[in-house]
Chains A and B, each alone.
Chain A
Amino acid sequence: QVQLQESGPGLVKPSETLSLTCTVSGGSVNNYYWTWIRQTPGKGLEWIGYVYYSGSTNYNPSLKSRLTISVDTSKGQFYLNLRSVTAADTAVYFCVRSAYTGSHYYMDVWGKGTTVIVSS
């Protein structure tokens, strides 16, 4: 079965770039949307955005100016880059497989999540 694993630094300095990788195993990257979600105690779950296997993207407007999500189908990986981070970006970050049925979007396979702390 498909499994997702997040990786990346657990500590990022303010004003720097948060970079995470999600590795997809047990299945293909093709034909799916690959989503990033984050969770903080104060704000709950927040939808960050997704990349389609073809490379097209859809971002949360509140993060769009700082955000890049990309995919490398040959490696079975997708990526999150969030620039100019502040303490408010401290969260557990999940990578997720998602899909549409008709116009309805759902997220059906989740990674375990990785904690990222923004601090000097």
Chain B
Amino acid sequence: SSELTQDPAVSVALGQTVTITCQGDSLRSHYATWYQQKPGQAPLLVMYRENSRPSGVPDRFTGSSSGNTASLTITGAQAEDEADYYCNSRVSNAHHFVFGPGTKVTVL
């Protein structure tokens, strides 16, 4: 299957920890990449190659993977972390790429 699945929405209290997951068969052999998108803006790369953060992304963002599941954890969520988060990965046995449907993170 070429699909990636994500929970539609999660909420987290300010300063608490939230984990967003992405599931798919392709994740057994390919890392997920994570993008954050705020309303009216382009997506922003926040995690790649499982647990690599681009310059400028706070270290409260961490990534991990196990089996067919990739996870993005925000430890000590801030108001500015409220956004949609999308995972992306290569399709198994193919050369193209697919996005998950996205998870809306609300910081309470």
Contacts and interface: CB of A to CB of B under 8 A. Distances in A.
Given A44-B86, A47-B96, A106 B42 contact: no
Interface in B38-88: 41-45, 48-49, 52, 54, 86, 88
A112 B90 contact: no
Given A44-B86, A45-B86, A47-B88, A108 B99 contact: no
A47 B98 contact: yes
A27 interface: no
Interface in A37-76: 37, 44-47, 49, 58-61
B31 A104 contact: yes
A14 interface: no
A101 interface: yes
Interface string A91-106: 0001000000111111
Contacts of B94: 61
Contacts of B97: 47, 105
B88 A108 contact: no
Contact of A58 (B30, B43, B48, B96): B96
B49 A101 contact: yes
A106 B48 contact: yes
Contacts of B99: 44-47
Classify chain B's interface size.
Answer: 20 to 34
B26 interface: no
B86 A113 contact: no
A113 B99 CA distance: 17
A94 B99 CA distance: 14
B105 to A, nearest CB: 15
B42 A94 contact: yes
A56 to B, nearest CB: 11
Given A46-B99, A106-B48, 15 more contacts: A44-B86, A45-B86, A45-B99, A47-B97, A59-B96, A60-B96, A94-B43, A101-B48, A104-B33, A105-B33, A106-B33, A107-B33, A107-B35, A108-B48, A110-B44
